[in-house]
Structure 1
Amino acid sequence: MNYMPGTASLIEDIDRLRQQAVMAIGQELNRRAMGGPNPSTWISQVRRRSSLLGSRLEETLYSDQELAYLQQGEEAMQKALGILSNQEGWKKETQQDNGDKVMSKVVPDVGKVFQLEVVVDQPMERLYEELVERMEAMGEWNPNVKEIKVLQKIGKDTFITHEMAAEAAGNLVGPRDFVSVRCAKRRGSTCVLAGMATDFGNMPEQKGVIRAEHGPTCMVLHPLAGSPSKTKLTWLLSIDLKGWLPKSIINQVLSQTQVDFANHLRRRLESRPASEARC
């Protein structure tokens, strides 16, 4: 592969900037878990680093469309983390005996969002394998997902995906699919997976299937304070199912989807030893 003069240095600069941005994410998440400083300061730092990164990306590395997807991924992450950083206004939807809980609130220009908080008795590495590295296998263990396909990978941490959702609520919620840009940032033992709806020319809407929209959404994974063998998972879910559906049904479906997800994920992790998951 031939490079333009100076491209190698540019690539090194970009990688260094990416590492700095991810380091900020990891440090702040750890501080937040222990009652650290105001998250708004951290969000501003991430946005500044993202702007600097964007200014250094050149056409010699990415096409205009790929740059647009990279920017959408960063935007999804910033918006989702911004919602999570604001602790005001959350209302409890449901709480399970094992401590799993779902909360919700209405966010201006976004709508109603749901937040799942769970602790999984598995190390963060195992969750990262299933949710990021083996993303396309989710349909094997989550009945709410028929299939996930990675349509395109851009760089090391940005993906365009197509997801077919299973019918829900006694078939009242018919077939839905999603085309999303997803951005995974990882630093040490902390991972953030964010996403939002996007357009992808090679995956037009399908007959008989309603094209719904994610976003902004994200999952945050980090070791439980004082128990590194356990992982705290926070999932922000924002979704527009499209079509005509009563809000009561939508709210019930989305909150139950998050509760079910946690249960299915635990069973998956328990049924697949770490050595098998890496094969």
Structure 2
Amino acid sequence: MEFQERANTVADNLFSYSKDQSGWKVCKKSNDVVVCWRPSTEFPGNVYKGEGVINACPEKVWECLKPEPNGIRVKWDSNVKKFELIEQVTEDIAVCRTVTPSAAMGIISPRDFVDVILVKQYEDGTITSNATHVEHPSCSPQAGYVRGLNHPCGCFCAPIPGEPGKTQVYAFFQTDLGGLLPRSVVDSFFPSSMTEFYNNLKKVVKSLK
């Protein structure tokens, strides 16, 4: 029950993030994506929001984004090295472990994250992933990885009214990477990483038949 409650709370939080336009500051912008940030209310760091349009229907985009072991995302998302199912709580809620590679020219060492993830679909056709960190008895910290903490984060694949072949993708990252990383490294990593995330997503969706 605890996992379900946490997952549902995260979904509420992310839905409010997607509707609340106040306080966001643009930190990176390209033709494909706008990345904004504002101070997090969850931890002493920032919450980052990415916005971009992908030329495909939400279901097709979701196939590339959905969190599942051996799914498409592990193959294209450069920040996901491994994705493991720890416990299937309900049909739509699971506890998973994500392993990330080293980044920022090795300054950021490999991390792992244990999250409860809720997949939720809204009446307007928006498909979402909603995640936050949890502790699980069968997944204690492992040697070789710094245990990071994801605060409410996830992705939204929203249909665009009148444009059935396009999807508005919102991505929210709110991550405590752990370790003694300089703030400047963290603040530069996320905007660049999110821009790459959208670029790679666009390429893989285009490659699907």
Please indicate, yes or no, whether the TM-score normalized by the shorter chain is above 0.5: yes
Residues 68 and 83, structure 2, Cα contact 8 Å, conserved in 1: no
Matched, 1:144 2:79: yes
Alignment check: 8 A CA contact 1:81 1:218 kept: no
Q: 2:34 is matched with which residue?
A: 101
User: 1:119 touches 1:224 (CA, 8 Å); kept in 2?
Assistant: no
How many pairs does the alignment contain?
A: 206
Unaligned runs of 5+ in 2: none
Q: Is the 8 A contact 2:100 2:110 kept in 1?
A: yes
Structure 1 partner of 2:64: 130
Deviant stretches of 4+, over 4 Å: none
How far the C-alpha of 1:193 sits from its partner, in A, is 1.1
Q: Does 1:120 align with 2:54?
A: yes
CA contact (8 A) 2:120 2:129 kept: yes
AA of the residue aligned to 1:166: P
Give the Å deviation of 1:259.
Answer: 0.8
Distance 1:231 1:135 in 2: 24
Match of 2:149 in 1: 213
Indicate the SS of the match to 1:77.
helix
Matches of 1:192 and 1:251, distance apart in 2: 25
The DSSP-based 3-state class of the residue aligned with 2:105 is coil
Query: What whole-Å deviation, never above 9, does each CA across 1:166-205 have from its counterpart, x for those lacking one?
Result: 1110000001000000011114621121110001111110
Q: Residue 101 of structure 2 aligns with which residue? A: 166
Deviation at 1:90, TM superposition (A): 0.7
- Per-residue deviation at 1:133? 6.6
- Does the C-alpha gap of structure 1 residues 148 and 156 become closer, same or farther in structure 2, counting only changes over 3 Å? same
Q: Distance in 2 between matches of 1:182 and 1:133?
A: 8
Question: Is there any run of 5+ residues in structure 1 with no aligned partner, and where?
Answer: 1-66, 274-279
* Structure with higher strand content: 2
Relative contact order, higher structure (CA 8 A, sep 6+): 2
Cα RMSD (Å): 1.5
Which has more radius of gyration? 1
d(CA) in 1 for partners of 2:158 and 2:182? 36
Q: Deviations over 1:138-174 (max 9, x none)?
A: 2211222111112221222101110000111000000
Q: Does the 8 A contact of 1:76 with 1:216 survive in 2? A: yes
**Matching of residue 250 in structure 1 with residue 182 in structure 2:** no
